[in-house]
Amino acid sequence: MTQIKRFIFIIVATMMVASVSGQNLNGKWLLKDVDSGNEKIGYPGFQLLEIKNENVHMFRDFSLSEKWMELKFERDTIFTSNDFKYATFKFINENHLKLFIDGTSNGKDAIFECHFYRLLPTITTLEKEDIEAMTFLLKSDNGRETELKFNIELTDKEILKLLNKEEGEKRILEKIDSTYFVSLYDYGERRVSFPIKEVTTEFLTLYAIPTGPMEMIAYRKN
């Protein structure tokens, strides 16, 4: 390889690494589900990666008030702050990132594939109060219908009294940066939060559904 070709190769390789480790990866990434390589293991709860250049912060609290882990990456590997290998990753596309973490499943060595999706701003012209005032109807593949009503107690008062609980089941509209979420609460505790891709006066689209489809559409209930 001539000196000029070698120089061009180094420049191109450097630009590729910079693109992957910087511009394309920067932002917040939400965990959708985890696969052990031969079986889905479900949803381990809210996990969010925030990437700023080579630094990676992981959160397990929706408020993002406290970092759970501080990580860093080099090329295709993520390390802990003590330089221990945490995971390798693959950049699937601009909105999909996959982490591979070594572990055990049912007593056997396994590689856990963690699917993270970029947290995108919700597409809407509506204010929070406008969305909360509407009711949407979500229909699953098995035909089951679920109403999305916000800030309303959904558990019967008599049942709450028997359980000696002040709160039961609620749907709350919450937000991280410019992304709205539909959060399901049970007895005052957040169970799961679904990011909203788009919401209008006619429909609401959820995406990156934990252990479910990539997208689900709920239509306005008249």
CA distance 49 to 72: 11
Residue-level pLDDT at 11:
36
CA separation, residue 222 to residues 137, 153, 201 (Å):
10, 20, 11
Average pLDDT rounded to a whole number, residues 162-175:
87
The pLDDT tens digits of the residues spanning 120-150 come to: 999 999 999 999 999 999 987 777 888 899 9
Where do we find the tokens 């000196």? 3
Whether 23 shows a pLDDT value over 70: the answer reads no
pTM assigned to the model: 0.83
DSSP one-letter code for 120: P
CA distance 35 to 115: 8
Q: Is CATH 3.30.200 what the domain over 3-118 is classified as, yes or no? A: no
Residue % of the chain over a pLDDT of 70: 87
- Give strand pairing partners of 113: 35, 100
Phi (first) and psi of residue 182, to 5 degrees: -95, 115
Residue 15 or residue 201, greater confidence: 201
Distance, CA of 27 to CA of 179 (rounded, Å)? 12
Average pLDDT, the chain: 85
Q: What ranges do the domains of the chain cover? A: 3-118, 128-220
